[in-house]
Amino acid sequence: MKVLDATFLIDYLNGVDATAEYLLAHDDERFIIPAPAYAEVLVGEGNAPDGDVTAVRADLSWGEVYETDEDTAEIAGEIASEVGPQGPFLVGMDGLIAAVGRELDAPVVSSDSDLTHEETKRVVDVEEYQ
């Protein structure tokens, strides 16, 4: 199982080769899309002048959307505390995505500099796809 962040999803939708290569190299895995990352992608598409939310939903149908809740939010806060002031300032969405990884005991797949920062990787299992 792999948890995909918004950077991965956006790159995938934009045809970045590294995402297709990553998916092919891990074709035996389940791919989890945290609801906050899914929302970021769909809202971004909805805001685009020629956006097609329905098409993006179909393009991402191979992933499983994972709902976050109060427990996920609490884990996100714990992760931010563990990262501490020496690491990046995790915004709510990045914290929730990291928390989903911890909840599911699965690596987060990202190229986001806050999630791939060494201090974040110290407390969360993160895999870079680029």
Q: Residue 4 forms beta bridges with which residues?
A: 109
pTM: 0.94
Three-point CA angle 10, 11, 16, nearest 5°: 155
CB 94 within 8 A of CB 49: no
Three-point CA angle 13, 19, 21, nearest 5°: 135
What's the CATH code of the domain at 110?
Answer: 3.40.50.1010
CA-closest candidate to residue 38, choices 19, 57, 58: 57
Q: How confident is the model at residue 44 (pLDDT cuts 50, 70, 90)?
A: very high
Total structural domains in the chain? Answer: 1
pLDDT over 90, % of the chain = 96
pLDDT tens digits, one per residue of 60-71: 999 999 999 999
Instruction: List Cα–Cα distances, 32 to 43, 49, 50, 119, in angstroms.
Output: 19, 28, 27, 23
Cα–Cα dist 24/47, whole Å: 30
pLDDT over 70, % of the chain = 100
pLDDT tens digits, one per residue of 69-83: 999 999 999 999 999
Does 49 score more than 90 pLDDT?
yes
Mark residue 84 as left, alpha or beta (left: phi above 0; alpha: psi -120 to 50; beta: remaining): left
Cα–Cα dist 50/105, whole Å: 38
12-35: average pLDDT: 97
Residue ranges making up the domain that contains 116: 2-128
Mark residue 105 as left, alpha or beta (left: phi above 0; alpha: psi -120 to 50; beta: remaining): left
Q: How confident is the model at residue 130 (pLDDT cuts 50, 70, 90)?
A: confident
